[in-house]
Amino acid sequence: MLAAPRLAEEATGIGALGIDPWSLLAYLVTFGLLVVLLYTLAYKRILGVLDARSGRIRDSLEEADRVRREAQEQQEAMQRTLLEGREEGQRVLAEAREAAERYREQQATQARAEAAQLIDRAREEIRQERDAALEQVSSEFASLAVSAAERIIHRSLDPDAHRDLIDEVLAEGDARAGRN
């Protein structure tokens, strides 16, 4: 048979447990002192630091929230400004386009007017040139007629011959006018 643990003292009943009022009192005092000392030396300080740290964390979180809110507000404001800027830019661009279009149309109108003026002027000049040419032709006709007359006079005064001669000169004059 294996050895079993044996009771060291031969005591009976509850007395074997060793309940002792003085020991009990000693434990009560020891524990009471331990509570007081631990509270004074450690618990108060540790709980204080834990409170302070949790307070600081709470403050930091609130500060972080505030900063995040402000950043968000700033971002929103910036986006609003950007949007306004973009709208303003688009408006300015549209106005510029409109002005450019107006200017282009104005220039085109002006160009057309100038072109019309130029054409008119050209026509006028052409007309004047033609008139001058006609006048010149007429004067040349006259000189031709004179030269024809001179020729006639130097030859004979045959009416048919004169007529032929005049026709010839006129044809010559027409040919000349056609060339011009």
Contact footprint for other proteins (CB under 8 A): 2-9, 11, 16-20, 22-24, 26-28, 30-35, 37-39, 41-43, 45-50, 52-53, 56
Between 33 and 146, name the residue whose CB sits nearer to other proteins. Answer: 33
Between 33 and 93, name the residue whose CB sits nearer to other proteins. Answer: 33
From 132, 130, 161, select the one nearest 148 (Cα to Cα).
Answer: 161
CB of 62 to other proteins, least distance (A): 18
CB of 64 to other proteins, least distance (A): 18
DSSP-derived secondary structure for 57-111: HHHHHHHHHHHHHHHHHHHHHHHHHHHHHHHHHHHHHHHHHHHHHHHHHHHHHHH
* Dihedral, CA of residue 88, residue 93, residue 98 and residue 100, to nearest 10: 140
CB of 53 to other proteins, least distance (A): 6
CB of 67 to other proteins, least distance (A): 21
Cβ–Cβ < 8 Å for 165, 151: yes
Between 45 and 127, name the residue whose CB sits nearer to other proteins. Answer: 45
Between 42 and 111, name the residue whose CB sits nearer to other proteins. Answer: 42
CA distance 115 to 91: 35
